Amino acid sequence: MISLDELTVRIEKDDDFATMPHIAAKVMKMVEDPDVSVAELEKYISIDQVLTAEILKLANSPLYAPRMPITSLKHAINYLGLANIRSLTLMVAIRSLYSSAESKEVMAAFWKHSAASAVVSRNIVMGVGGVELNAEEMFTVGLLHDFGKVVLLKFYPDEYLKVVEEVKSGRRDFYSAEKELLGVHHAYVGALILSKWGFHVDVVNAVGSHHEEPDNPVSALMVLANVFCSTWDYSLVDPKYEVKFFDRALEILSIDEDKWREVTEGIKQQLEESSEILGV
Ligand SMILES: [Fe+2]
Ligand SMILES: [Fe+2]
């Protein structure tokens, strides 16, 4: 069993996990400041050449499908907009936290699920229309919804790999295996760390409740993203555990089965075409 107090202390003592990655925090702050200009943001991001290169790669990928190649950071910021730049920066910045001495393979699977969930969440919102959710915010929620798994694997590798084994065998999903074997689940741990990192309470709550029966559009969207990921091999979880709230989620978001099929076909194709860039 894991003690939450002990986990909290471990997080606070860890240089990588105690606070949000610096560059993501800074870009987030800049984007929220109405007085910040594109030139200032460009100047700040361009100091980090890796981030700049990654943003350009993503901007030119089928995910954003520019009509003309985007060759400069300034062009990328103008084309994608500040909200997109913020979420892509976060995506690039947290990717390095998906590393583990004990299990590279599991961390890679977690990354695959996170990156795919981000894209899937955003694209469902854009694809179905009429949903009152912000596509970029949902990209972030999708990206972070299972971040608690990364934290648990990082700080309790031996215990957590047992959970992973249970899930891989198809005997259980993460949520129930964690509750039984660890006494704490990844949705709670994810909300805990994201609140420490200063994320908006809406993001924290969405992450914290993503395994409960959906009663609002954001949790319904997380159900759909996870159904998609488990069905199309972007998840370690057997789809039978994810479909429990599927009908309810479609109902909340007013999506019919035909629309769902149409939207998921498009997303599948985009993910396949961008798999190398996303690392999924
Ligand atoms: Fe989850
Ligand atoms: Fe998930």
Same structural domain, 270 and 204 = yes
49 CA distance to ligand 2 middle (Å): 31
Same structural domain, 14 and 34 = no
| Residue 48 near residue 92, CB atoms below 8 Å | no
Report the distance separating Cα 225 and Cα 127, nearest Å: 13
CA dihedral 232, 233, 238, 239 (to 10 degrees): -10
Tens digits of residue pLDDT in 1-54 = 999 999 999 999 999 999 999 999 999 999 999 999 999 999 999 999 999 999
Same structural domain, 12 and 138 = yes
- From the CA of 163, which ligand is nearest? 1
Same structural domain, 151 and 86 = no
- From the CA of 185, which ligand is nearest? 1
280 CA distance to ligand 2 middle (Å): 14
The domain in which residue 105 lies consists of 4-19+99-278
- From the CA of 237, which ligand is nearest? 2
Tens digits of residue pLDDT in 185-235 = 999 999 999 999 999 999 999 999 999 999 999 999 999 999 999 999 999
Q: Which residues surround ligand 2, an ion (CB under 5 A)?
A: 146, 226
Same structural domain, 119 and 51 = no
The pLDDT-based confidence of 102 (bands split at 50, 70, 90) is confident
146 CA distance to ligand 2 middle (Å): 5
Same structural domain, 84 and 109 = no
φ, ψ for residue 163, nearest 5 deg: -60, -45
CATH number where 263 lies: 1.10.3210.10
pTM (2 d.p.): 0.96
11 CA distance to ligand 1 middle (Å): 20
226 CA distance to ligand 2 middle (Å): 5
- From the CA of 211, which ligand is nearest? 1
